[in-house]
Amino acid sequence: MSQSAPPLYDFAFLNEVGRGDPAFLERMIRLFLSDIPPILAELNRAYEQDDPAIVKSLAHRLKSTAEAMGIVSIQQDLVVIEKMAADQLKGRKLDASISRLNQVMESVCSQLTARLAL
């Protein structure tokens, strides 16, 4: 991802909750960066092992996190993942949503890591 790419996140909610405190925002970014990779790995593992209950639970958790971080580009994918996992469905639509989720979250993590380095 190039440095000029627009951010895939929006801190409006976090800035409101944290009352614009930069230290709060940095803590939330660091928490996101430490929590998201293992959650994604667990979701992918659960999907590969055909464990829809875990996939649904993790998608729900990620949906809340993505909303708080203003990552709107994957909200619909998370709804699809959660719903299809609840219905124990598989297929191209679910595969595509999980693939997009992984791509976007990886890009967000890269962008946030670069932001912290500034």
DSSP H or E run through 85: helix 75-86
Distance CA 39, CA 61 (A): 9
Kindly give, in sequence order, each residue whose CB lies less than 8 Å from that of residue 9, ignoring residues fewer than 6 positions away.
Answer: 69, 70, 71, 108, 111, 112
Question: Domain map of the chain by residue range?
Answer: 12-117
> Under DSSP, is residue 52 helix (H, G, I), strand (E, B) or coil?
helix
**% the chain with pLDDT above 70:** 97
Mean residue pLDDT of the chain comes to 94
CATH of 12-117, one of 1.10.3470, 1.10.357, 3.10.450, 1.20.120: 1.20.120
Distance CA 75, CA 63 (A): 6
How many other β-carbons are positioned within 10 Å of the β-carbon of residue 84? 20
Q: Is residue 95 a contact partner of residue 41, using CB atoms and an 8 Å limit? A: no
Q: Summarize pLDDT for 64-109 with one digit per residue, the tens.
A: 999 999 999 999 999 999 999 988 888 899 999 999 999 999 999 9
